[in-house]
Chain A
Amino acid sequence: MTLDEPRHLAEALRRRRYLISAWPWRALAYAVTTVPLAGVLAVGLFVVGAPLLAVVTAAQRGRPVALPLVVVLTVVALAAVAVAPLVSAPLAVVDRWRLGLVDGRPLPGPGVRGLAARYTTGAAWREVAYAAWLGGAVPLAYGMFALLVLLDVLLLAGPWVAGGTDRIVLGWTTVDSPRAAVPYAVAALLAVPGLGYLAGLLVAAQAGVARWLLGAPSDGPALREVTRSRARLVGAYEAERRRIERDVHDGAQPRLTSLTLQLGLARLDVPEDSPAAKPLAIAHEQAKELMVTLRRIVQGIRPQQLAELGLAGAVGELAARATVPVTVRAELTRPVPELVETTAWYVVSEALGNVARHAGATRAEVRLTRPDRRLVVEVEDDGRGGADPARGTGLTGLADRVAAVDGRLLLASPPGGPTLVRVELPCRP
């Protein structure tokens, strides 16, 4: 399932093979690069916050606050506000780039241009908020986690460290012999994968906040508009195909049939030795050929069966026409939007075509299910496998068609088979 890779850390954490994938290392890389950045910011925040701390302490003890301190505080606060957007801008650039370590999805910046915009746009102040968060909250979380790791290391080392005059003091008990330390060490060892997950969660949460604050909310609607218009284009294209199909099917086809019929009747009345007999026979044959041609064309424009039989029935007709026996299991308890229906039909048609051409299969199965807000189409064959989207255009063309309606195509085709094509199509009401 090469197409089914998680795209970001939070998704990877939900996978069973998280700990043996590359994701923990990516999370580690992100965390390690966070430390110097967050460290510098924390020091900066402390410098800014120190006078404030002094004032608060003084006020708490009921002492009068010295005027110079108030002046310093005001100046420092104003300076911080003035400098913050300038400091946070390069930080935002670095961290947008850094986010790529744990999140493969593109993150376009808000595109704040000019010095004035640094102080007047919400996007710029969101970057300031991010800097404050990175310097304030993140070091605390990292500190807590570091303590946990230290504790775990200490417990692990317990059997070697404890004993003699050295004692390990835990919060609730004291370990003073290697033997007594062993259970703790075992527990600590068992906790290691948990720590791996905890680190992953920590980094994922951090990345989530970064995405939320550093993303471009102003550009969001525009991006959605782009995808919507792509779906609209596909919809318009399908509507046009349907119109052509209807025109041919309800207009041209019956007229041609009628014409051919009249030619056939005319032939009955023309004596065989008449000069008109031969051209009439030729015209009749050509009209018949044209009927076949036209029928093939209409069939290619839009699956007629879809309109007449619905998705399950039309897929059944496809199965009946396949070169190997095909079982169809359709559990469509909810209605399927028309555009999704058409896409699904093409998916099955193409996939069964591939089975016939390349798979060397003896049988195949098509499954249609309709979980909440999706239509899932699966086509499985017992052929030789080894289907590769990189070779040939069949699979990529299929993936394009699926992507146009925001669906995704997954493929499992190990050499030796079997091949499973799974397509998930969103069904919006």
Chain B
Amino acid sequence: MPPVTRVVLAEDEVLLREGLVGLLTRFGFAVVAAVGTAPELLDAARAHRPELLVTDIRMPPEHRDDGLRAAVTLRAERPDLAVVVLSQHVQSGYAAALLDSGDGRRVGYLLKDRVADVAEFADTLRRVAAGGTAVDPDVVRHLLRRPRDPLAALSPREREVLALVAEGHSNGAIAARLHVTEAAVGKHVGNILTKLDLPPADDTNRRVLAVLAYLRAGR
């Protein structure tokens, strides 16, 4: 049995907050605090020192990007804190701001719609807590819709693979989705890294850099 992940949850709508607590508990997370405002989120995260933070972006008191700003602040204090932010809309600027905090690992940017697929949502949280990166498929899609300069060299298949990498999937999971062998995916990933001019180093980290490369190209 893996160690229980301690989570602080922030969501201002009570019903949804309760629902999320139920979901997280159900999938084996320990929700140590569930709060409704950004200042409470800062206090709770500092007091409980959780491994994972799940927060809405739009929160009281200002109802703008308070939740995101709190998350970025906490990441600056504790770079090992995994953060997943939930947004009602696709906004690549937010995704990039979050990915820019720290080394771009242990972060997730998801549309709120994703919580509907409860098992997949829980799976994504686990991947982020374990050191992965998860960018919502919708964000990925609209960033990949047109060829951008650094990505112009990628073939359509390589772009497809990069999109799945950005969502935080492993080579095995990508292979299963695209109905190809894992070796083929590994080859695509290698090509992507070469074309994006990312020199060999820690492989997992290079995957994150590849995702960051096209998120930055999007701005």
Contact = CB atoms under 8 A, between A and B. Distances in A.
A403 B218 CA distance: 34
A9 to B, nearest CB: 49
A308 B64 CA distance: 5
Interface string B5-23: 0000001010110111011
B93 interface: yes
Nearest to B143: A320
Interface string A123-136: 00000000000000
A291 B116 contact: yes
B88 A304 contact: yes
A263 B19 CA distance: 10
A317 B19 contact: no
A295 B113 contact: yes
B118 A316 contact: no
A297 B4 CA distance: 39
B140 to A, nearest CB: 13
B16 A295 contact: no
B58 A288 contact: no
Contacts, number: 98
Contacts of B92: 317, 320
B116 A287 contact: yes
A304 B89 contact: yes
Interface in A31-63: none
B15 A255 contact: yes
Interface residues of A: mostly helix, strand, loop or mixed?
A: helix
Contacts of A325: 146, 148
A292 interface: yes
B58 A260 contact: no
Interface residues of B, number: 34
A292 B111 CA distance: 10
A320 B218 contact: yes
B26 to A, nearest CB: 6
A353 interface: no
B93 A258 contact: no
B116 A257 contact: yes
B119 interface: yes
The 9 A-B pairs with the shortest beta carbon distances in the complex, nearest first, are: A254-B13, A264-B118, A260-B116, A258-B16, A258-B15, A261-B19, A258-B19, A254-B16, A288-B116
Interface of A: 249-250, 253-255, 257-258, 260-265, 267-268, 284, 287-288, 291-292, 295, 298-299, 304-305, 307-309, 313, 316-317, 320-321, 323-325
27 contacts: A249-B88, A250-B63, A253-B112, A254-B15, A257-B112, A257-B113, A258-B15, A258-B16, A258-B18, A261-B19, A263-B116, A264-B116, A265-B23, A284-B116, A288-B113, A288-B116, A291-B116, A295-B89, A299-B89, A304-B88, A307-B64, A308-B91, A317-B91, A320-B92, A320-B93, A320-B218, A320-B219
